[in-house]
Chains A and B, each alone.
Chain A
């Protein structure tokens, strides 16, 4: 096999390494733009729905009184809402996360079905009192702000 030109071996090695790493970086940048899952709130998903079948995340509150178990005993349907009171229907087959309750926050990973129902492959709920999915933390702040607004009405 050909030996590297002795004088420039270090230069050749450094360039090859740089080329490979830059290639990896470019590839990563391209793939990240196409493969990252975008996060939607219910009103965003209704206004600008993602393509059917594209992996995205939907986050919001589980609407009170909306959770229904289907006849097979393992599929649940429920509505996810946000501050705008838009309701987005979601269907999920599987074991519900431990702290999945009505009126509490949830992030659903999945994709929009052709029938306009969001089909979740996985649900991330509040894990315990201290853990809230990242996307929902902001929402809790919103809610707190809203509550503060409501409770201080007329106090000025």
Chain B
């Protein structure tokens, strides 16, 4: 039987050779095999990063899209339950995450990883105290100092503290205990950060030049955590910090004196029918050039609805205290607006599993219109836009 099969195969080969198109053989001399390579760098241009957080023990990924048309350009990946941030120039990415060799049991490691964005290459790893906050990703959980020489990383065991990493030496400088406080909001005028505390005050931690010691100062009460709780999400507006509450009250705070002080509170949904409240995770994004705040909102908000997806994104002029426009952008849980005169808005929908880009028209009261979208697999609550 084996001989019969071999004979048949030989006959087929002979026939194939006899009847093959002459052109095939004519081109044989010109054939050049393809070469396997790895693309050295992403295509240039501004980027959007969607931080996809893995809660199953496997790798988290920051997926990188073109900010122009949202085509996928690359990614960087780390461990489980990641937190992510970028340098101001968008050239360096940072991810703090957990590596668990057995995924769901046994010991693990918490690591800060540094990536070169252009090449997507891992350039540095720094072992952290095994205390990284295993918490739904928020931009306030991994931040850089104003001079970008230090990284601040939120811990929770559930006792809270902040790991300070010296990025020059690649070593942990110290662990700052921050009991009852959470979130990291770096100071711009000094080395240090503020954190939100359980009584509605903030504590500001000012570090020594080498990052190895600190002094702290607590503010007066800023908000009522029972009646008007604020999100972790924040942005800067003309140097001040902006926060927003579940009930859509915008808290404008200053940290310039080494302690948080309240500048103003603006209820952006006051007088609007429908019992509107803030919705999502990354919910505060401010366009510097025009002084306009963008917030995802949903109607008939109630206790427990604060992380629901949006029904609309509101554009609110914080200089004139005026609601400019309510764009009907559904199911967004994270938004980012660029800072230029003609802003672009980006949003992520958990429900759709998509990142969206919207053109914002300053001549039409900052109405937003969808111009691009791309699918994103996984769970994400933050996104960042780089130059």
Pairing of A with B: no
**Which residue numbers of A lie inside 8 Å of B, CB to CB?**
none
Interface residues of B (CB under 8 A from A): none
